[in-house]
């Protein structure tokens, strides 16, 4: 009998990074518990954490790479697969050019530091313009907005609500009680939200659905989908009108305040009230209370991003924070100080580039090297120079997560090559030529490089793997490094040599961007890094060069990876500190309050305000026990009543002849689905809600539990041609739909 041991790591199923303690006996996971000694999460977990065990045990999860053959899936050695894939990719590039291979990165990459750190290297090897990712679905407006205002690439300049110290939290289009926070990493979201009210502060929620967060808040207002930008401009209008503008820490650090005042002139509360569905007197009160609070934070998430005016709404949120002196002040919105700054992976440019080129077919702007994900299908389907003939999918299920799945499925079916780094045969990977599984999250180590830019406290935590990886599976970084090297022409190079080469590239870039330790050289860095090869060594590099770092001996008390690893439960690096001046990286050296991208998009908003919507508007809905689509094969997380239902207000249900429990047919410009109806006062009249990530009835997929709880795929309805013009992001919330009773 072996002795059970306890492995500590961060839970990978959402951005909250709760600490878990996994009890392991041999190669069996005995239990998953909240780690009470984790200084950040203090024992909090939600039901999804148990998914670590279920995912580890899931019999449908692939433990061998697969190759599609005439007679079905065949197991293949991963190095053989990588060689075959490289040969096919090189042939495609020779025939059609580099842009013929597209790449799509999914959400789970953020929880796999190897994938995150080796992706830039792999992308350089691919040298394609067709880079899509899930951030180009869910965050593009925020990426554009923070880049234009602060001059930095995402996620290095995202103001995060200082939730533990704020007196007033205005939540617009986010449901942290269920999502546990996004671009605001914080374990125990419900507790932290309650904390605001318990301290005598106030939580106000604006949402077309009386969400779980709205239930917990002090105040909730229904708001019509897509109208947030107008509402925020009306609040800003009020601030100017009533002399409430006061820049605080941003004083002297901004440009074009008068342009903002001018822009807000047309958006008086009376003008926007009807469009938003909120009375003018209430809008004024919201603005006054926000300005009067000792400290206040306006926080917008998916509801302010994946909608018709995502960039304007994201702009409005940060303007409200800046104009009331809440940017960079305790209790307002602040910038984290991550332990392992990823800047080293970015080229050291001043400012941030967007629109350096446009997508081939619909001329959408490039954003920091990304193309809006909604253009993927047209780039595959439209013949001509630069047409995409192959896709490399890194942990994503785009046939369930991207807009207009029917069209995307048609596109994927005609590709010459699909390679998926994924551990399920699901709705998307069923079309792959090769599936390269990597170990499940419990089996691999991790460090939250990306999410540490978004935490509500500064922290660092090392996540251990359980040390009993099943099968002979490569880690994602090994796949990316090996295949990348082949694409760059380094045939036969050992992985260790490839990795040493990559380390030098990182070190060179880090020294160029990092001015803290002037006399360091790449040789010294490389010589002193003795952590194991792979992502660990890169994290060590970033930590030691970072704000808290030991500077490779220059500051012996400073942080190293070893010190982080020595603390089983994670290190609390303190409350967020003011650091605005060092964040601003625009050409002007000031926060750009009125970028032309935003100002030029205002007439479109005014046009929309003049129209009366004549259809129902469809929005999404997250569930506590799902993470997008991939947790639906885990029995504990899908048991119970069907969650994939259409929620609708009683008034609309009566008008449309819908009956609770019966089915409705929902039709948009691009598709039709049928879903069971739930009639509830939770939904604003005129709005209906369906969750995404379901529709697990694809014939070729092999996920038995999910197949028994199929639900329907809401992205059959979302429209790839409907997007936020300023960023190109597809509209996932606010899709016009017709709803009628389905024949029983
Ligand atoms: N209509 C609508 N659409 C939406 C949304 C919405 O609210 N409404 N939300 C959007 C958002 S916010 C996002 S982020 C995207 C998410 O969209 P995706 O990034 O496509 O996320 P998933 O659908 O969960 O797919 C994740 C894939 O990665 C695989 N995977 C998971 N973990 C691992 C791992 O550790 N290793 C390997 N090798 N594979 C892994 C899974 O098997 C699955 O195939 O969806 C977006 N789509
Ligand atoms: N349990 C769970 N947690 C998750 C995920 C999950 O799938 N399940 N996914 C993770 C991911 S990838 C992400 S990106 C985050 C997302 O984190 P959140 O943004 O907090 O999640 P959503 O539930 O999509 O919240 C969006 C809210 O906006 C509202 N809304 C819709 N349209 C509008 C609008 O036009 N205006 C306004 N004001 N509100 C609107 C919706 O009703 C909803 O309450 O969650 C993460 N955490
Ligand atoms: S809130 Fe739940 S899913 Fe998110 S990190 Fe914590 S335990 Fe995991
Ligand atoms: Mo997301």
> How is the chain split into domains, by residue range?
1-57, 66-138+349-435, 140-339+581-603, 613-741
**Is the shortest distance between the CB of 175 and ligand 2 below 6 Å?**
yes
Specify the pLDDT at position 680. Answer: 98
Q: Looking at the CA of residue 16, tell me the nearest atom of ligand 3.
A: 5
Residue nearest to atom 4 of ligand 3 (CA): 14
Average pLDDT, integer, range 538-557: 95
Please identify every residue whose CB atom is under 5 Å from ligand 4, which is an ion: 138
C-beta of residue 397 within 8 angstroms of C-beta of residue 630: yes
Place of tokens 């003939």: 389
Q: Looking at the CA of residue 624, tell me the nearest atom of ligand 2.
A: 1
Angle at 347 between CA 346 and CA 351, to 5 degrees: 95
pLDDT of residue 515 exceeding 80:
no
Q: Which residues contact 75 (CB under 8 A, 6 or more apart)?
A: 64, 65, 66, 67
Specify the pLDDT at position 1. Answer: 53
The model's pLDDT over 561-604, given as tens digits with 9 standing for 90+, comes to: 999 999 999 999 999 999 999 999 999 999 999 999 999 999 99
**What separation in angstroms does the CA of 427 have from each of 307, 365, 640, 703, 709?**
25, 29, 23, 9, 14
Per DSSP bridges, beta strands 434-435 and 417-421 are parallel
Which pairs count as long-range contacts for 622-626, CB under 8 Å and 24+ apart, including other chains?
622/175, 622/178, 622/179, 622/691, 623/178, 623/691, 624/46, 624/47, 624/48, 624/178, 625/47, 625/48, 626/691, 626/693
Specify the pLDDT at position 510. Answer: 86
Domains 1-57 and 66-138+349-435 share a fold: no
Angle at 621 between CA 616 and CA 624, to 5 degrees: 165
Specify the pLDDT at position 236. Answer: 99
pLDDT of residue 242 exceeding 80:
yes
Length of the chain: 744
Average pLDDT, integer, range 726-731: 94
Helix (H) or strand (E) holding 676: strand 672-679
Closest C-alpha among 635, 627, 573, 613 to residue 734: 613
Specify the pLDDT at position 171. Answer: 99
Q: How far apart are CA 257 and CA 319, in angstroms?
A: 10
Confidence at 373, pLDDT banded by 50, 70, 90: confident
pLDDT of residue 458 exceeding 60:
yes
Q: Which fold has domain 66-138+349-435?
A: Rossmann fold (3.40.50)
SS3 416: coil
Place of tokens 């001059």: 151
| The CATH number of the domain covering residues in 613-741 | 2.40.40.20
Q: Note the pTM of the prediction, 2 decimals.
A: 0.98
Specify the pLDDT at position 370. Answer: 85
**Is the shortest distance between the CB of 627 and ligand 2 below 6 Å?**
yes
Q: How far apart are CA 698 and CA 695, in angstroms?
A: 7
**734-744 core/surface letters (b: 16 or more CB in 10 A; e: else):** bbbbebeebee
In the reported structure, the alpha carbon of residue 207 is separated from the centroid of ligand 3 by a whole-number distance in angstroms of 23
Per DSSP bridges, beta strands 446-447 and 462-463 are antiparallel
Average pLDDT, integer, range 101-129: 96
pLDDT of residue 670 exceeding 60:
yes
Residue nearest to atom 2 of ligand 3 (CA): 46
Q: Looking at the CA of residue 213, tell me the nearest atom of ligand 2.
A: 44
**What separation in angstroms does the CA of 332 have from each of 188, 248, 323, 407?**
19, 11, 12, 43
Average pLDDT, integer, range 170-180: 98
Specify the pLDDT at position 135. Answer: 83
Residue nearest to atom 7 of ligand 3 (CA): 45
Mean pLDDT of the chain: 95
Mutate to test the pocket of ligand 3, among 21, 32, 42, 46 (most ligand atoms within 8 A of CB): 46
Specify the pLDDT at position 374. Answer: 87
Q: Please, is 84 exposed, middle or buried when counting C-beta atoms within 10 Å of its C-beta (0-12, 13-18, 19+)? A: middle
Give the number of other CB atoms < 10 A from CB of residue 575.
13
Confidence at 368, pLDDT banded by 50, 70, 90: confident
Q: Looking at the CA of residue 13, tell me the nearest atom of ligand 3.
A: 3
Q: How far apart are CA 666 and CA 653, in angstroms?
A: 13
Q: Which fold has domain 1-57?
A: Phosphorylase Kinase; domain 1 (3.30.200)
Q: How far apart are CA 213 and CA 196, in angstroms?
A: 13
For the 140-339+581-603 domain, the top CATH level (class) is alpha beta
Confidence at 744, pLDDT banded by 50, 70, 90: confident
Specify the pLDDT at position 517. Answer: 81
C-beta of residue 696 within 8 angstroms of C-beta of residue 703: yes
Average pLDDT, integer, range 405-415: 98
Confidence at 345, pLDDT banded by 50, 70, 90: low
SS3 665: strand
- Dump the DSSP string for 525-578: HHHH--SPTTHHHHHHHHHHHSTTB-GGGTSTTSB-HHHHHH-TT-EEEEE---
Q: How far apart are CA 142 and CA 336, in angstroms?
A: 17
C-beta of residue 41 within 8 angstroms of C-beta of residue 19: yes
Residue ranges lining ligand 1, Cβ < 6 Å: 106-108, 112, 134, 137-138, 302, 395-398, 400-401, 421-424, 426, 437-438, 441, 620, 628-630, 692-693, 714-715, 718, 732
């Amino acid at each position: 009998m072996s002795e059970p041991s306890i492995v500590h790591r961060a839970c990978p199923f959402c951005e909250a990074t709760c600490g878990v303690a996994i009890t392991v006996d041999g190669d069996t996971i005995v239990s998953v518990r909240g780690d009470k000694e984790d200084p950040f999460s203090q024992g909090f977990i939600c039901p999804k954490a148990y998914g670590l065990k279920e995912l580890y045990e899931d019999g449908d999860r692939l433990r061998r790479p697969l190759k599609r053959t005439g007679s079905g899936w065949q197991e293949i050695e991963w190095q053989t697969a990588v060689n075959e894939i490289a040969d096919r990719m090189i042939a495609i590039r020779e025939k059609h050019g580099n842009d013929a291979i597209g790449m799509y990165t999914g959400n789970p990459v953020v929880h796999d530091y190897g994938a995150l750190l080796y992706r830039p290297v792999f992308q350089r090897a691919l040298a394609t313009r067709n880079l899509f990712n899930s951030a180009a679905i869910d965050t593009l407006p925020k990426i554009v907005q923070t880049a234009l205002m602060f001059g930095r690439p995402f996620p290095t300049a995202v103001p995060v609500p200082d939730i533990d110290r704020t007196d007033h939290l205005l939540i617009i289009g986010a449901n942290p009680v269920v999502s546990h926070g996004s671009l605001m990493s914080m374990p125990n979201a419900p507790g932290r939200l309650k904390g605001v009210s318990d301290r005598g502060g106030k939580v106000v929620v604006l949402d077309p659905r009386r969400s779980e967060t709205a239930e917990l808040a002090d105040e909730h207002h229904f708001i019509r989908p897509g109208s947030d930008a107008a509402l925020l401009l009306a609040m800003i209008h009020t601030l100017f009108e009533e002399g409430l503008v006061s820049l605080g820490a941003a004083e002297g650090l901004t440009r074009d305040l008068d342009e903002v005042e001018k822009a807000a002139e047309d958006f008086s509360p009376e003008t926007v009230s009807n469009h938003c569905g909120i009375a003018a007197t209430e809008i004024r009160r919201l603005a006054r209370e926000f300005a009067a609070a000792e400290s206040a934070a306006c926080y917008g998430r998916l509801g302010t991003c994946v909608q018709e005016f995502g960039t304007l709404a994201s702009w409005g949120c940060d303007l409200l924070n800046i104009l009331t002196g809440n940017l960079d002040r305790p209790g307002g919105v602040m910038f984290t100080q991550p332990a392992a700054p990823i800047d080293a992976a970015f080229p050291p440019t001043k400012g941030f580039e967007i629109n350096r080129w446009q997508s081939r077919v619909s001329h959408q702007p490039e954003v920091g090297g990304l193309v809006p994900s909604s253009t993927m299908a047209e780039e595959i389907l439209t013949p001509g120079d630069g047409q995409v003939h192959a896709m490399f999918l890194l942990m994503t299920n785009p046939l369930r997560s991207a807009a207009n799945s029917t069209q995307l499925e048609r596109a994927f079916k005609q590709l010459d090559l699909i390679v998926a780094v994924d551990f399920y045969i699901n709705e998307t990977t069923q079309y792959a030529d090769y599936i390269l599984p990597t170990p499940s999250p419990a089996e691999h180590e991790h460090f939250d490089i990306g999410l540490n830019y978004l935490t509500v406290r500064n922290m660092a935590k090392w996540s251990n793997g359980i040390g009993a990886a099943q099968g002979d599976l490569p880690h994602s970084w090994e796949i990316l490094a090996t295949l990348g090297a082949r694409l760059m022409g380094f045939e036969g190079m050992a992985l260790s040599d490839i990795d040493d080469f990559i380390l030098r590239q990182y070190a060179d870039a880090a020294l160029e961007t990092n001015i803290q330790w002037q006399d360091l050289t790449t040789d010294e860095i490389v010589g002193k890094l003795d952590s194991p090869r792979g992502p660990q060594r890169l994290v060590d590099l970033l930590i030691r060069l970072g704000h808290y770092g030991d500077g490779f001996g220059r500051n012996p008390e400073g942080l190293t990876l070893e010190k982080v690893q020595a603390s089983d439960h994670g290190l609390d690096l303190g409350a967020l500190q003011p650091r605005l001046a060092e964040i601003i990286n625009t050409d002007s050296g000031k926060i750009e309050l009125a970028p032309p991208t935003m100002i030029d998009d205002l007439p479109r908003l005014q046009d929309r305000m003049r129209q009366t919507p004549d259809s129902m508007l469809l929005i999404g809905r997250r569930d506590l026990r799902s993470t997008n689509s991939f947790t639906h094969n885990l029995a504990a997380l899908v048991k119970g009543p069907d969650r994939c239902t259409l929620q609708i207000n009683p008034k609309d249900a009566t008008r449309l002849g819908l009956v609770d429990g019966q089915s409705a047919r929902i039709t948009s410009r691009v598709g039709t689905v049928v879903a069971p109806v739930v009639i509830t006062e939770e939904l604003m009249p005129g709005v209906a809600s369906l969750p995404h990530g379901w529709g697990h009835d694809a014939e070729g997929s092999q996920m038995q539990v999910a197949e028994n709880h199929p639900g329907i795929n809401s992205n059959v309805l979302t429209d790839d041609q409907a997007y936020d013009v300023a960023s190109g992001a597809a509209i996932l919330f606010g899709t016009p739909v017709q709803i009628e009773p389905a024949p029983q």
